Structure 1
Amino acid sequence: MNISTIQIHTTKAQIGMTTTAGRQSIQQPPASVDIWQPKADMTIQTKAGLMTIDQSQAWADMDRKHIFQRTREMAAEGMRKALEGTGRRAAEGRELADPYKGRNAIVAQAARHSTRNYETEPGLIPSHGSVKLNYEPAVLTIDVQVRPVENNTRANKPIIHYQPGDVNIQLKQYASIEFQVVNKTI
C-alpha cells in the first residue's frame, strides 16, 4: 500500500551583526598651582633690664667713704669739735678766773689734758644689708602681623574624547519552508 506523506523542511532566518566598539579617552591635565605666602611683618622691641647696686653704705662701714661724704662728715665733726672747744675754753677760763674754789686750776686742767681717750671700732666689716640691690626686669615686646596665603590655584577640566560604537545588523539567511510529498509503501 502506498501512503503519501508530506515532509516539511524549514530553515531558520539568521541575523548577522557587526559591531565597532566605542572609544573613550579621558585626560586630566594637572591643576594650575599658584600659591604665594607673603612674609609676615615682625617687630621686636626690647627694653634692657636694669640692675642697680648701691654699696656706698658698705664702703662707709669699712671707712672707705666717697670724698663728698667724708667732706660732709669732717665738716660736721669740725663744727662740733669747734663748738666743744669753744665751750671748754670758756669753762676753763671761768675756772682760772675763779681762784676761790680752793684748788689749783692750772694743775687740774693739765691733768685733764694729759690723758686722751680714743674710741676705736672694728673696721673693714660692712654691716648686714648694707649693699642695696634693685632690679628692673627686661621688657620684650613682639608684634607679628601675619599675611594670609594667596591661593590662585585653578583646577583644569578633564579632556574627554568619545567616539560612539556602531552596530550593523543584516539578514544572513532568509527563513524558508519546503514541502515535499513522499510516497511510501507499507
Structure 2
Amino acid sequence: MNIPRLSIHQTFAQIGIDTQKAQLSIESPRGQLEVKQEAASMDITSPKGELSVDSSAAWSALGKGDHLEWMNQIYSQLQSVALQAIGKIVEDGNRMAMITNPSNSFAEIAANQMNEQNPVEYVGEASNLNVKLNYEMKKPEINITPHQTDIQYTPQKPQISYAPGNIDIYVKQKNSIEINVSSYDWYK
C-alpha cells in the first residue's frame, strides 16, 4: 500500500553583519619655545686695603727713636738709679768702715767701679715683636644687574583625522520552507 508521505524542510533566515571600526588619529606636534636671556651685568670694585707699619719700638730699641720718648725713657729710670746709687754708697761706706777686714776694701771698691756698667738703659729691648703690622682689608663692592628673560612660545594645533566606522547588514541566507510529498511504501 502506498501512503503518501509528507516531508517538510525548513531553512531559517540568517542575517550577516559586517562592521568596520571607526578610526581616530591624533597627532600633536611640539610647540616652538624660544628663550632669550641676556647675561647679567656684574661690576666688581675691590678697593685697596690699608697697611700700617709701626716701627717706633724698633727704632727705640736701636736708640734712634723719637727724642722726647727717649728722654722720657731715661727720666723714668733716674729715680731707681739714684736709689741704687745711694744704696751702693752706703754699702761701700760700711765696707770701708770695717777695720777688722783683712782684705783691702778700697782696692776692691775701685776695681768694682771699673767693671761696673751704666745702670741707665739708653736703648730699648731688642725683639722681633718691635715692628707691628696692621692690615685692614676692604670688602669688595659687587653690583649685579639682572636682565629680564624673554620667553616666546608658539603652540601648534593638533592634527586630528577621523574615519567613521561602517556597518553592513545583509541577508546571508533566506528563509525557506520546502514541502515534498512522496510515496511511501509501507511494506517495502
Deviation at 1:18, TM superposition (A): 4.7
3-state secondary structure, aligned to 2:161:
strand
**Number of positions where the alignment pairs a residue of Structure 1 with one of Structure 2:** 140
The one-letter amino acid of 1:48's match is K
Percent identity, please.
33
3-state secondary structure, aligned to 2:144:
strand
Q: Which moved more, 1:30-39 or 1:143-152?
A: 143-152
Distance 1:127 1:10 in 2: 136
- Cross-structure match for 1:40: 40
Distance 1:179 1:128 in 2: 141
Deviation at 1:36, TM superposition (A): 2.1
Distance 2:26 2:149 in 1: 32
- Cross-structure match for 1:9: 9
- Cross-structure match for 2:166: 166
Contact 1:59/1:126, CA 8 A, preserved across alignment:
no
- Cross-structure match for 1:185: 185
TM-score, normalised with respect to structure 1: 0.57
Distance 1:166 1:129 in 2: 105
Distance 1:163 1:169 in 2: 19
* Structure 2 unaligned spans of 5+: 72-116
Distance 1:26 1:51 in 2: 75
Contact 1:48/1:139, CA 8 A, preserved across alignment:
no
TM-score, normalised with respect to structure 2: 0.56
Deviation at 1:160, TM superposition (A): 1.1
Change (3 A) 1:36 1:128: closer
* Structure 1 unaligned spans of 5+: 77-117
Change (3 A) 1:62 1:167: same
- Cross-structure match for 2:93: none
Mapping 1:8-157, distance limit 5 Å: 8-20=8-20, 22-65=22-65, 69=66, 126=126, 129-147=129-147, 149-157=149-157
Q: Deviations over 1:18-46 (max 9, x none)?
A: 55554443322222111222322323232
Distance 2:22 2:131 in 1: 99
Contact 1:34/1:153, CA 8 A, preserved across alignment:
yes
The one-letter amino acid of 2:136's match is E
What is the RMSD computed on CA atoms of the aligned residues? 3.5
Distance 1:170 1:128 in 2: 119
Deviation at 1:13, TM superposition (A): 2.2
